[in-house]
């Protein structure tokens, strides 16, 4: 059956191929962890750590990121899936299945005597042709009111209507120009909170509470100061402090620090973000002046606040600057409000870069992480669909591409045709696995779809997983972002080529372990 390495006795296998077989087996083992999750009838995977903590999900990226894998080829597959998730935010299961099938079929061709170089040559031709078909048949998204955009968000969001709506709304708020920016990722705007209502707003959520309850819960139209340092006087050595001159220096530094806080207050600053600790004197003065302070913020939070409010982060030594100089470092926010129920702070209406937050509610702590993963997938699908459009989902377009790939096979001379056969088998894999997970015979259903696609030249035909009938995926609203499909094929082809080129595995000599390697060293084998 396609997708499985044939059993070959050791005596029949050239020693040169042992590494290839070993790698293919590892790839297949990793792929088996996610193949049962694909499609509307896909099941969940339970991940259990050594402490008994459980994660239940059918998100391929989550499963692959959390399983223990010690084999280098298995790690390569996981890294490829990770690259897929980071680049387009979805399609990790697809790229895993495609790569596993291409590699498995490639190994079978090599065992039949086809040179690896010819297999790789054919794989390149097949992948290129399939991508051409997908680009040609992509349906562009004209605007944010397009039903296809909502359907892409709905499918990627695992049929959660509320999540699909707010991710599309978030895309509309950010605008097409922002979504086309390669450095911007809409999925990074997603935050899930237990007990929250679904919401999209222009601004940030910082998972910190104000320093004390005497500080205001809400400030409006305020200049913003960001201190990427401790909000404390400059330090003096203990030995120096024991001397008279050292004590005078200590008093001078305290006085300068107090004057710096007074300058901040005189500038009308009502919100201060600090990356480290805050001195007790500063806390008292700022509290009395009605200033809200967030402290011990991460670098990520400091950067986000700075970008959104337009503030330039300063160090503690900059507090000695004049009011005019300090003014140039300040940002601005229309509103900063602390939500006591959800235990976070919102910063809205900054004068810097516009940012949207997609707040996803969850009923319990247990489902919060899964809701966040679903929303991130949906948001990524919205952005990818705006960039490159959408294609029929459910494995339809992959099966349709087979016809053109077969034409390319007829044009290629020599044994490279066997490499193209590997791609053809891989293009069948998504629908094969979707149908299998739904409880139908994949050979029968693929034959039905191919026959009707040939008769009608309809690239959207696939299988309804409820009835087993051949239906139009576009009419059913089952669509996937074109970018996800293309990137998955490209990544799968590149990984397959890299794996197939390995004909020997050699253990490196022992090197003194670094601290980083010791932390990342796997404890168990997959």
According to the 3-state scheme, what is the secondary structure of 118-136? HHHHHHHHHHHHHHHHHHH
Distance of CA 65 to CAs 21, 228, 483, Å? 24, 32, 22
Residue 526 in this model has a pLDDT that exceeds 50? no
Mean pLDDT of 158-179: 92
Contact 34, 93 (CB under 8 A): yes
Check residues 85 and 511 and name the one with the higher pLDDT: 85
Q: Which two tokens stand for residue 438?
A: 């739904």
In tens, the pLDDT along 98-110 reads 999 999 999 999 9
pLDDT of residue 523: 47
- Beta bridge partners, 304, equal none
- Structural element, H or E, at residue 154: helix 147-156
Phi then psi for residue 89, to 5 deg, are 80, 0
At 280-291, the pLDDT tens digits run 999 999 999 999
Confidence band, pLDDT 50/70/90 cuts, at residue 370: confident
- Cα–Cα distance for residue pair 286/269, rounded to 1 Å: 10
The whole-number pLDDT of residue 193 equals 87
Specify the pLDDT at position 268: 96
Q: How high is the pLDDT of residue 235?
A: 74
* Higher pLDDT pick, 459 / 250: 459
Give the pLDDT confidence score for residue 524 in this predicted structure. 42
Q: Which are the contacts of 489, defined by CB distance < 8 A and separation ≥ 6?
A: 98, 127, 130, 131, 134
- Ordered DSSP codes for 262-302: HHHHHTT--EEEESS-B-HHHHHHHHHTT-EEE-S--HHHH
Mean pLDDT across 372-394: 95
Which CA distances in Å does 68 have to 29, 257, 369? 12, 51, 20
Pick the residue with more confidence: 368 or 102? 102
Q: Are 408 and 232 in contact (CB under 8 A)?
A: no
Angle 147-156/161-174 helices, nearest 10 degrees?
120
- Higher-confidence residue of 23 and 519: namely 23
For residue 315, give both structure tokens. 């160090």
Local confidence band at 481 (pLDDT 50, 70, 90 cut-offs): very high
Class of domain 216-358: alpha beta
Residues 13-139+391-505, CATH architecture:
Orthogonal Bundle (1.10)
Tokens of residue 118, six digits: 């010819």
Per-residue confidence band for 237, with pLDDT thresholds at 50, 70 and 90: low
Nearest to residue 484, comparing CAs of 416, 403, 386? Answer: 386
Predicted confidence (pLDDT) at residue 517 exceeds the cutoff of 80: no
For the chain, percent of residues with pLDDT exceeding 90: 67
Tell me: pLDDT of 505 over 80: no
pLDDT at 3 > cutoff 70: no
> Both tokens of residue 242?
């024991």
The token pair at 483 is: 């970018």
Q: For residue 247, is pLDDT > 80?
A: no
Domain locations in the chain?
13-139+391-505, 145-195+363-388, 216-358
- Residue 511: what pLDDT? 72
Q: Find, among 375, 335, 383, the residue nearest to 357 by Cα.
A: 375
Contact 346, 271 (CB under 8 A): no
pLDDT mean across residues, the chain: 89
Phi/psi for 191 (5° steps) reads: -135, 130
519 has a pLDDT exceeding 80: no
How much of the chain exceeds pLDDT 70, in percent? 92
Looking at residue 7, what is its pLDDT?
52
Q: H/E element holding 448?
A: helix 442-456
Query: Dihedral of CA 187/482/453/449: which sign?
Result: negative
Do 13-139+391-505 and 216-358 fold alike per CATH? no
Give the total residue count for the chain: 526
Residue 10 has pLDDT above 60, yes or no: no
Tokens 């009707």, residue located? 452
Domain covering 145-195+363-388: architecture:
2-Layer Sandwich (3.30)
Residues 6+ apart with CB under 8 A from 93: 34, 35, 37, 38, 60
Kind and range of the H or E run holding 149: helix 147-156
pLDDT score of 525 more than 50: no
């Amino acid at each position: 059956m396609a997708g499985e390495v044939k059993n070959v006795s050791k005596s029949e296998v050239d020693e040169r191929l042992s590494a290839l077989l070993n790698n293919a087996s590892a790839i297949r083992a990793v792929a088996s962890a996610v193949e049962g999750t694909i499609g509307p009838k896909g099941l969940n995977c339970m991940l259990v750590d050594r402490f008994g903590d459980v994660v239940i999900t059918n998100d391929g990226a989550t499963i692959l990121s959390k399983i223990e894998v010690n084999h280098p080829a298995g790690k390569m597959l996981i890294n490829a899936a990770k690259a897929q998730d980071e680049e387009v935010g979805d399609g990790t299961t697809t790229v895993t299945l495609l790569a596993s099938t291409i590699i498995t079929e490639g190994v079978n061709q090599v065992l039949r005597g086809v040179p690896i170089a010819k297999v790789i040559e054919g794989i390149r031709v097949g992948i290129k042709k399939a991508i051409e078909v997908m680009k040609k048949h992509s349906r562009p998204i004209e605007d944010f009111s397009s039903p296809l955009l909502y359907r892409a968000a709905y499918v990627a969001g695992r049929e959660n209507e509320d999540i699909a709506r707010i991710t599309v709304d978030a895309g509309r708020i950010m605008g097409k120009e922002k979504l086309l920016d390669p450095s911007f990722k809409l999925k990074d705007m997603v935050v899930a909170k237990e007990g929250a209502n679904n919401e999209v707003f222009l601004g940030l959520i910082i998972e910190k509470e104000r320093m004390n309850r005497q500080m205001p819960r809400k400030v409006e139209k305020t200049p913003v100061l960001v201190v990427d340092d401790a909000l404390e006087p400059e330090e003096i050595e203990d030995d120096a402090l024991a001397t008279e001159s050292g004590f005078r220096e200590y008093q001078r530094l305290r006085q300068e620090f107090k004057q710096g806080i007074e300058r901040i207050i005189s500038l009308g600053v009502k919100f201060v973000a600090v990356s480290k600790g805050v001195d007790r004197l500063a806390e008292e003065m700022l509290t009395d002046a009605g200033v809200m302070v967030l402290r011990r913020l991460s670098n990520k939070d400091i950067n986000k606040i700075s970008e959104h409010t337009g503030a330039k982060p300063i160090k503690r030594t900059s507090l000695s600057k004049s009011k005019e100089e300090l003014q140039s470092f300040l940002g601005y926010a229309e509103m900063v409000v602390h939500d006591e129920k959800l235990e976070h702070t919102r910063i809205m209406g900054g004068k810097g870069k516009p940012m949207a937050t997609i707040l996803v509610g969850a009923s319990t702590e247990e489902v919060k992480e899964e809701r966040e993963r679903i929303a991130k997938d949906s948001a990524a699908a919205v952005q990818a669909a705006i960039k490159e459009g959408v294609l029929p989902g459910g494995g339809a377009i992959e099966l349709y591409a087979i016809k053109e790939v077969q034409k390319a096979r007829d044009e290629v001379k020599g044994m490279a045709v066997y490499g193209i056969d590997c791609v053809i088998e891989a293009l069948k894999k998504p629908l094969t696995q979707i149908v299998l997970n739904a409880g139908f015979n994949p050979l029968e259903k693929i034959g039905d779809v191919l026959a009707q696609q040939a008769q009608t030249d309809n690239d959207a035909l696939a299988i309804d997983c409820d009835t087993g009938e051949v239906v139009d995926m576009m009419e059913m609203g089952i669509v996937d972002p074109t970018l996800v499909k293309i990137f998955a094929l490209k990544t799968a082809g590149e990984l397959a080529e890299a794996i197939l080129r390995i004909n020997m595995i050699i253990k490196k000599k022992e090197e003194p372990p670094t601290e980083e390697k010791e932390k990342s060293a796997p404890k168990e084998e997959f």
